[in-house]
Amino acid sequence: MKVIFYTALFQNLLFKKIAYLLFLCLFCSSLTTKAATNKENYVSEMNQLFSGDGVLLKFKIEVPETSAAALRKDPKKYAPCVVTEGDRVYTNVAIHLKGSAGSFRGFDDPKPGFTLNFSYFRPGQRFHGVRKIHLNNSVQDPTFLSEFICGHLFRSAGVPATRVAHAFVQVNNRPTQFYVLKESFEKEFFSQFFGSPDGNAYGESGGIDVDAPMHRMEGEGANDWSDLKQLANAVRERDTNKCYTMLNSILDVDRFISFMAIEVMLCHWDGYTFARHNYRLYHDPSNGKFTFIPHDLDQMMNDSNVPIVPGVNGLVAQTVYRIPETKKRYVERFEEIFVNNFRPEDLTNRIDTIVSKLKPKIAEVDKNFAQGFENRSRDLKQRIINRAQSIDRQFASMKLKTASDMIIAPENWKKAGGESGAQFDIVKDKDGRTALYIKANSSTTAMWKTTVKLWQGNYLFEALARCENVKPISDEQGEGAGLRTSVNQLKRENKLINTSPWKKLEYQFSIDSPQDVELICELRALTGEVWFDVGSFKIYKK
Asked whether the predicted pLDDT for residue 276 surpasses 60, the reply is: yes
Mean pLDDT of 403-423: 74
State the average pLDDT over residues 498-525: 91
Q: How many residues does the chain have?
A: 542
pLDDT at 404 over 50: no
Task: Give the per-residue pLDDT at 107.
Answer: 95
All residues at 6 or more sequence positions from 509 whose CB lies less than 8 Å from its CB, including other chains: 458, 459, 461, 485, 487, 488, 517
Q: pLDDT tens digit string along 73-99? A: 999 999 999 999 999 999 999 999 998
Rounded to an integer, what distance in angstroms lies between the CA atom of residue 327 and that of residue 511? 11
Q: What is the mean pLDDT of residues 495-512?
A: 93
Query: Which of these ranges, 42-46, 281-285, 504-508, has the smallest mean pLDDT?
Result: 42-46
Percent of the chain with pLDDT over 70: 90
DSSP lists the bridge partners of residue 4 as none
Low-confidence winner among 13-22, 100-109, 216-225, 351-360 (lowest mean pLDDT): 13-22
Evaluate if residue 337 carries a pLDDT over 80. Answer: yes
Report d(CA 396, CA 511) in Å as an integer: 16
**Amino acid 513: pLDDT:** 74
Task: For residues 67 and 59, give the distance between their C-alpha atoms in angstroms, rounded to a whole number.
Answer: 19
SS (H, E, C) 120-144: CCCCCCCECCECEEEEECCCCCCCC
Is pLDDT at 67 greater than 50 in this prediction?
A: yes
Given a cut of 70, is residue 179 above it in pLDDT?
yes
Would the pTM count as exceeding 0.75?
no
- 418 has a pLDDT exceeding 90: no
Residue 412, pLDDT > 80, answer yes
Q: pLDDT band at residue 401, thresholds of 50, 70 and 90?
A: very low
pLDDT score of 22 more than 80? no
Percent of the chain with pLDDT over 90: 73
Instruction: With a cut of 50, say whether residue 405 has pLDDT above it.
Output: no
Q: Are strands 215-218 and 177-183 parallel, antiparallel or unpaired?
A: unpaired
One-letter amino acid at 259 equals F
Neighbouring CB atoms inside 10 A of 30's CB total: 10
- Using the Cα atoms of residue 171, residue 174, residue 178 and residue 179 in order, give the sign of their dihedral: negative
pLDDT, tens only, 109-140: 999 999 999 999 999 999 999 999 999 999 99
* Closest C-alpha among 306, 244, 298 to residue 274: 306
Distance CA 284, CA 44 (A): 23
Tens of pLDDT, residue by residue over 231-273, are: 999 999 999 999 999 999 999 999 999 999 999 999 999 999 9
What average pLDDT does the chain have? 89
Residue with the larger pLDDT of the pair 476 and 274? 274
Q: Is pLDDT of 9 > 80?
A: no
pLDDT band at 284 (very low <50, low <70, confident <90, very high): very high
Q: Helices in 194-277 by DSSP H: which ranges?
A: 226-236, 240-250, 253-265, 272-275
Give residue 5's pLDDT band: very low, low, confident or very high (50, 70, 90): very low
Q: What was the pLDDT predicted at 38?
A: 66
Return the pLDDT at 515. 79
